[in-house]
Amino acid sequence: MQSESIKMNAEIYLNMPSVPAGAILYRIVQQQHLLQTTLAQKSGLIPQRINDLIMGRRRFTPQNSFMLEQALNISLQGFFYKIQANHDIYQAQLAEHQPKPNLSILTPTTFWDVDLKKLEWTKCQDWAIRRVLEYGTKEEIEELHRFYGHDAFAKIKENSKGFMLYDVALKNLKTVGL
């Protein structure tokens, strides 16, 4: 009966790309009332590896996926590995559809310490505006002004005391009419 339940849930889990494989492993371990150390003994993996997989610090390999499937009586081959692949695809699609400024205008000189393609522009709005106001070109300032809007720049101006290059930032705020 328990094997039947795992198989039904396995099909459901395979169709949940927004959930990482480690979270699903954690859920299955909880459902089976197992300790991670017990699962480690049953699977032949070290307890730290089990914990790293659950916490997302390590990726599933076909080998450790197979070992865990056997220990948990999951009959779908490559179960955790497939879930991880589905989640990776989901994450890539999300990243592709994230709004971003015109990256061809932004220079590595201004953003020397980050990969512009990997930046989550909506999450780092204040940082990006501050960076471009202190170190950016007129074109970069105008591009981020277009992308984030006038209100975002006005909000930064209200808190302008935190700038490292205060005079430069205030001068550059005039570029966008503030």
Mean pLDDT value across the chain: 87
pLDDT on residue 60: 96
- What's residue 42's pLDDT? 96
Closest of 35, 32, 39, 79 to residue 60, by C-alpha: 79
What is the C-alpha separation between 51 and 165, in angstroms, rounded?
A: 45
Condensed to tens digits (0 to 9), the pLDDT of residues 48-72 reads 999 999 999 999 999 999 999 999 9
What is the reported pLDDT for 81?
A: 96
CA 59/CA 89 separation, integer angstroms:
14
Q: Evaluate whether 144 touches 178 at the Cβ level (below 8 Å).
A: no
Residue 115 has a pLDDT of 87
Percent of the chain with pLDDT over 70: 92
Residue 1, pLDDT score: 44
Note the pLDDT tens digit of each residue in 138-169.
Answer: 999 999 999 999 888 888 877 766 677 777 77
